[in-house]
Amino acid sequence: MKIGFIGLGIMGKPMAGHLKAAGHDILVPERASLGPEQRAAFTVLPDATAVAKAAEVIILMVPDTPDVEAVLFGPGGVAAGLSAGKLVIDMSSISPTATKDYAKKVNALGCDYLDAPVSGGEVGAKQATLTIMVGGPQAAFDRATPLFQAMGKNITLVGTENGAGQTCKVANQIVVALTIEAVSEALVFASKAGADPAKVRQALMGGLATSRILELHGERMLKRPFAPGFRIRLHQKDLNLALQSAKYLGIALPGTASAQQLFSAVTAMGGAELDHSGMVKALEALAAHPVAPDQGA
C-alpha cells in the first residue's frame, strides 16, 4: 500500500519504519523531522494534503487533540487531500469526544476512520510489540489489520463506534499511572526503611505484586535513566482526558487525581520532559529521601 504517515516522533519513526520493512511505500510531509536515512527510505511530499492525495491509508501519530485537529482540518491538512475510499487511522491518544466529531467529518468525505491509540511506549514501538486499541467499523478494521500487525502484537477492536479505542486508551493510562505511583511508593518506603530497594524489587518480581511496570520502570527508578520513553507531560494530558470524562460522567477517580498531582509536582520541579517513571521524584521529595542518586549526582 501507499501509506501516509504523519507524526514521526519517538514512537512514530519506528512505527513507520516497520511498515516500510513490511513492504509498504511510506509518504511523509516535508515538515517531518527526518534524518538522511529516513529521507532515503520515505517519499517526502510538500504537506499533509499532498500526502493524503497520494496515499491509500493515512496514519496520524501526533501528541494531542489540537494537533490531530490541525493535521486533519488545518491549512495544508489531510482532509483537503481526501477522496472517497481512503482510510484515516489516528494512532494518537486524544479525546474520545473529539474523535467522534473528527470521524463524522472524515466519513462525510466518503472515507473510513479508525481511532487506534497504542500502548507500549518507545520500547514497544521499536520492537513492534505495541498494544493497539481500535474503535471503528469492522470492515475498516479488517482492512487495517495487516498494518497493525506490522507495528504491534495485541490488537483489539474494542468497539465498532469511533471513540471506543480512545476510551480504552484513557483506561489504560489510568492503570499505568496508578501502577507507577504504587511502585514509586513501595520503593521509597523500602529505601527509607533501610532495605535495599533493588533487592526489594527483585523479591516483588516473584510474587503477586509483579508487573511490567515494576520490571521496567522500577529499574528506571533505581538506575535513573529518565530519558523519555513516554513523557510526563503527555501522561498528564491523558489523565486530564480521564478526569474531564469523569466529570462529564459524574464519577470519581480519586487515584487518577492523586497520580496527576504527583505528575504536576514533578513538572513544577522542571521534569515535564522526563519519562513518566520520573513520578518517583515527587514522592522522594515528600519523603526527603531519594531511592537512588540521580545520574551524575
Active site residues: 169
Burial level of 42, CB count in 10 A (0-12/13-18/19+)? buried
Q: Find the farthest-apart pair of alpha carbons in the chain and give their distance in angstroms, rounded.
A: 65
The Cα 171–Cα 133 span in angstroms is 11
- For residue 207, give the 3-state DSSP assignment: coil
Phi, psi of 80 (to 5 degrees): -65, -20
Residue 194 makes CB contacts below 8 A (sequence gap 6+) with none
Say if CB 27 and CB 5 are below 8 A apart. Answer: yes
The SS3 assignment for 284 reads helix
Q: DSSP readout, 129-190? A: -EEEEEES-HHHHHHHHHHHHHHEEEEEEEESSTTHHHHHHHHHHHHHHHHHHHHHHHHHHH
Judge contact between 291 and 283, C-beta under 8 A.
no
Nearest to 1 by CA among 69, 85, 73: 85
Element (H, E) at 259: helix 254-268
Check: CB of residue 186 under 8 Å from CB of residue 164. Answer: no
Give the Cα separation of 109 and 10 in Å (integer).
31
